[in-house]
């Protein structure tokens, strides 16, 4: 094995171990769920990757895509994030996605992450539950859309199931969240408005505001050092 290949294998092995620990899985647990042996998991974590099939099975259990597991540009020092938005806000959603991706943050952004042929409802539901945080782009275009409202309900239910976790990060693209939004379930509006909201209303006019607010989002997604 060439030195470069050996370094790559060790990097993937460290990532497997880190994600396994983050998911509170023992070597045996991961082996059982991936339908492989404990010896194969130990070997992989030690930088001895036996096959692409093994990596794929491990990635599935650890809730990451195979390419994300092997991509050194992606950092697991940040919480992964699902970007929720309405279609008219896709341009700013894409800009936010690219900014977060440059920091190595694993993101679900529909045009990039969705698997063709998968039912939309299933795709969005899995995204909410498989990613650590939900970035909610709040605007008059987005908040009134049934799909976005459904995603808000799902993440709030996930928070409740986890004992009151704070998983939803709202981003204001205009002032609709405060002045015009009146969801059919008032408790949803309260649950979103009671959080600190990132203000992106002036980012187009002031580049420095964009950099400052993106930095705040990145900071919110950084995991506490172990």
Across the chain, which has 226 residues, the per-10-residue mean pLDDT values are: 70 86 87 93 88 88 79 79 94 95 90 86 86 95 91 94 93 93 91 94 86 94 72
User: Would you state the pLDDT for residue 108?
Assistant: 92
Look at the alpha carbons of 214, 216, 221, 225 in this order and tell me if their dihedral is positive or negative: positive
Residue 143 C-beta-side C-alpha neighbours within 13 Å? 24
Measuring CA to CA, how many Å separate 1 from each of 26, 39, 161, 188? Answer: 29, 20, 47, 55
The pLDDT assigned to 4 comes to 64
Q: Is residue 76 part of a domain?
A: no
Q: Are 73 and 67 in contact (CB under 8 A)?
A: no
Exposed/middle/buried for 146, CB within 10 Å: 0-12, 13-18, 19+?
Answer: exposed
Asked whether residue 59 falls in the same domain as residue 89, the answer is no
199 has which bridge partners?
Answer: 172
Examine residue 226 and state whether it is found in any structural domain, yes or no.
no
Looking at residue 1, what is its pLDDT? Answer: 47
Would residue 75 count as lying in a domain? no
Decide which of 70, 99, 122 is a domain's last residue. 70
Question: What's the total number of domains in the chain?
Answer: 2
* Same domain as 211, residue 192: yes
Give the CATH number for residue 31: 1.10.260.40
Q: Give the structural domain span for 115.
A: 81-221
The pLDDT value given to residue 156: 95
3-state secondary structure at position 212: helix
Residue pair 12/44 in contact by the 8 Å Cβ criterion = yes
Are 183 and 208 part of one and the same domain? Answer: yes
Check residue 226 and give its pLDDT. Answer: 43
In this prediction, residue 2 carries a pLDDT of 57
- The torsion angles phi and psi of 215, rounded to 5 degrees, stand at -60, -35
Q: Which residues contact 135 (CB under 8 A, 6 or more apart)?
A: 81, 82, 83, 84, 96, 169, 171, 217
Q: What is the pLDDT, as a whole number, of residue 198? A: 94
Let me know whether 7 and 52 are in one domain: yes
DSSP 26-94: -HHHHHHHHTS-HHHHHHHHTT----HHHHHHHHHHTTS-HHHHH-TT--TTB--EEEE--GGGHHHHH
């Amino acid at each position: 094995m060439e030195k470069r290949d050996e370094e790559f294998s060790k990097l993937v092995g460290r990532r497997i171990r880190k994600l396994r620990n983050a998911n509170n899985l023992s070597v045996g647990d991961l082996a059982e769920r991936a339908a492989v042996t404990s010896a194969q998991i130990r070997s992989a974590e030690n930088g001895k990757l036996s096959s692409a099939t093994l990596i794929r099975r491990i990635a599935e259990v650890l809730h990451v895509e195979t390419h994300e597991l092997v991509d050194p540009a992606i950092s697991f020092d940040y919480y992964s994030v699902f970007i929720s938005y309405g279609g008219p806000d896709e341009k700013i959603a894409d800009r936010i996605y690219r900014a977060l991706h440059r920091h190595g943050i694993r993101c679900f952004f529909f045009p990039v992450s969705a698997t063709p042929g998968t039912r939309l409802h299933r795709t969005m539901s899995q995204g909410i539950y498989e990613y650590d945080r939900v970035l909610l782009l709040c605007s008059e275009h987005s908040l009134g859309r049934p799909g976005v409202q459904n995603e808000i309900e799902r993440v709030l239910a996930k928070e409740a199931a986890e004992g009151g976790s704070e998983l939803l990060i709202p981003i204001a693209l205009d002032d609709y969240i405060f002045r015009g939004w009146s969801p059919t379930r008032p408790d949803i509006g309260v649950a979103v408005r009671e959080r600190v909201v990132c203000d992106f209303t002036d980012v187009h006019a002031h580049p420095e505001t964009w950099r400052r607010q993106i930095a705040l989002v990145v900071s919110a997604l950084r995991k506490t050092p172990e």
